[in-house]
Amino acid sequence: MKKIVKALSILLTCLSLWDGYSQNVQKPNIIVILVDDMGYADVGFNGCKDIPTPNIDRIAKNGVKFTNGYVTYSVCGPSRAGLLTGRYPQRFGYERNPQYRPHDPNMGLPKEEKTLAEALKQVGYTSGIVGKWHQGADISNHPLNRGFNEFFGHLGGGHKYFPEDLTIKDSYAVDNDEGMSYKTWIMRNHEPIQTKKYLTDEFSDEAVRFVEKHQKNPFFLYLAYNAPHSPLQATQEYLDRFPNIEDKKRKTYAAMVSAVDDGVGKLLDKLEALNLDENTLIYFLSDNGGPVKSNVASNGSDNGVLREGKSSIYEGGFRVPFAMQWKGTVKPAVYDNPVSSLDIFATTAALSNIKINKYKPLDGVNLIPFLTGKNKSNPHETIYLRKFDEKGYSVRHKDLKLVLKRDAAPELYNLKEDIGEHNNMAKQNHKTVKKLEAIRKEWDSQLIEPIFGGLKISKESEIKEDKKY
């Protein structure tokens, strides 16, 4: 009997030691800093000269700068749905910007899809979203009902920045009016609250508070700044940093980006002060390309050499500033193979042992083996984009890219030699066009049609409205 008791006691000691061990080896924290409508060339790490972004650049310097980082769509809502689910949003009919409809449970992210926050909840993470939601304004789609533990932000696709402009207390009192939704009070969880500062500063402070509060447990922070999306509004403090920019639009845009950069700095400083920086993966990216001059909602952004901008199926629409750091694990580098916002979910799933529903497979990959050099192949042979309403497609296969537009002949570009997509080689390369067309068709056969109407009042205004938001 004594022997059995002794054996049991040794076993219990081992178990408690094991338990202690497993608690000490903390799952990594995940931070996604998503900015809104920022141009490819508007960060220092992509060569920006007139807007210093020293703090955003810290992420690229500490970690990896992705030169070929893509999102899944060239406007806000669907792009965010792709990031949050790790799946091409065209698979589940999320192919238009949702209307602001607080009493329509089907307007927004379908309930059948699981968000990263929902998945992380199952493995013990606490998740918070600070900033823009844009995945449906009905309460059934509220972030707290889609896996997040905390929410501080707004439900719609954009927001005014000055507290005095936020005049509508109840976010659910606005119905199908995108412009009015920009004026609602900020919500903390389900409560409307009166903010006091410039909105970007409010979001930065909240992000720092979230990290402080949850420093002891694995967390996921989705810091989704609505900046530098229009309306173009900045405080004098930030405007004064750019005395040499004469163009008013560019100057205000620069001030808005600078405010985001300050916020990123505060957050990185806090992580370092709490000694969390080696146990935290931090991503920085934009949800789509900058709306350049031809866009009705141009914000003064610059996509550099990339063709066109927000809403486009050319590179300027969905190749975005993209960087990530994981100090101590991923060495600083520049990574040129195509990666996607889809990879954020897949990487997190691999690191935190999330079980994936086999009927809803992820479209991304775990990036870590590629970034540590363990896997030298290409994370994505093909990067896709479909814009259903325009019958537009972009299929990037390795360095070749097929562009299809309604009622137009196919276009083919070699992105390695022709990043600006100036030299259409389709006529001389029928076989390649045919091959990429077959790849497109195979992907397209897996997609469904859009399941909700977008920001359109009439056929004529459809594309205009879609570009705007």
Catalytically active residues, by annotation: 76, 134
Chain position whose Cβ is nearest to Ca ion:
76
Which two tokens mark 347? 């990487």
Closest CB 27 distance from Ca ion, rounded Å: 30
Give 36 or 138: the residue with its C-beta nearer to Ca ion: 36
Closest CB 77 distance from Ca ion, rounded Å: 8
Give 318 or 393: the residue with its C-beta nearer to Ca ion: 318
Q: Which of residues 274-333 bind Ca ion (CB under 5 A)?
A: 287-288
Report H helices in 274-341.
315-318
Which two tokens mark 113? 């899809």
Cβ atoms within 10 Å of 239's Cβ, excluding its own: 17
Give 155 or 412: the residue with its C-beta nearer to Ca ion: 155
* CA distance linking residue 56 with residue 104, whole number of Å: 37
> Which residues, other chains included, contact 357 with Cβ-Cβ below 8 Å and sequence gap of 6+?
114
Closest CB 8 distance from Ca ion, rounded Å: 60
Tell me whether residue 180 is exposed, middle or buried, using C-beta atoms within 10 angstroms of its C-beta: 0 to 12, 13 to 18, 19 or more. Answer: middle
Closest CB 303 distance from Ca ion, rounded Å: 13
Prior bond to 321 cis, omega within 30? no
Closest CB 86 distance from Ca ion, rounded Å: 19
- Among the listed residues 258, 226, 225, 260, the one whose alpha carbon sits nearest the alpha carbon of residue 239: 258
Give 304 or 369: the residue with its C-beta nearer to Ca ion: 304
Give 42 or 411: the residue with its C-beta nearer to Ca ion: 42
SS (H, E, C) 43-93: CHHHCCCCCCCHHHHHHHHHCEEECCEECCCCCHHHHHHHHHHCCCHHHHC
> Which residues, other chains included, contact 40 with Cβ-Cβ below 8 Å and sequence gap of 6+?
46, 286, 289, 290, 302, 303, 304, 306, 315, 316, 319, 320, 321
Residue ranges with strand state E in 119-208: 126-132, 150-154, 186-188, 191-193
Give 119 or 320: the residue with its C-beta nearer to Ca ion: 320
Give 76 or 271: the residue with its C-beta nearer to Ca ion: 76
Closest CB 158 distance from Ca ion, rounded Å: 8
DSSP-based three-state secondary structure for 260: helix
* CA distance linking residue 212 with residue 365, whole number of Å: 30
* CA distance linking residue 378 with residue 360, whole number of Å: 23
Give 76 or 109: the residue with its C-beta nearer to Ca ion: 76
Binding mask 52-91 toward Ca ion (x if CB under 5 A, else -) reads ------------------------x---------------
Cβ atoms within 10 Å of 400's Cβ, excluding its own: 19
Binding mask 334-363 toward Ca ion (x if CB under 5 A, else -) reads ------------------------------
Closest CB 219 distance from Ca ion, rounded Å: 25
- The count of chain residues that interact with Ca ion, using the rule CB under 5 A, is 5
414, 406 Cβ separation under 8 angstroms: no
Closest CB 469 distance from Ca ion, rounded Å: 8
Binding mask 7-46 toward Ca ion (x if CB under 5 A, else -) reads -----------------------------xx---------
> Which residues, other chains included, contact 429 with Cβ-Cβ below 8 Å and sequence gap of 6+?
412
Given the rule CB under 5 A, which residues bind Ca ion? 36-37, 76, 287-288
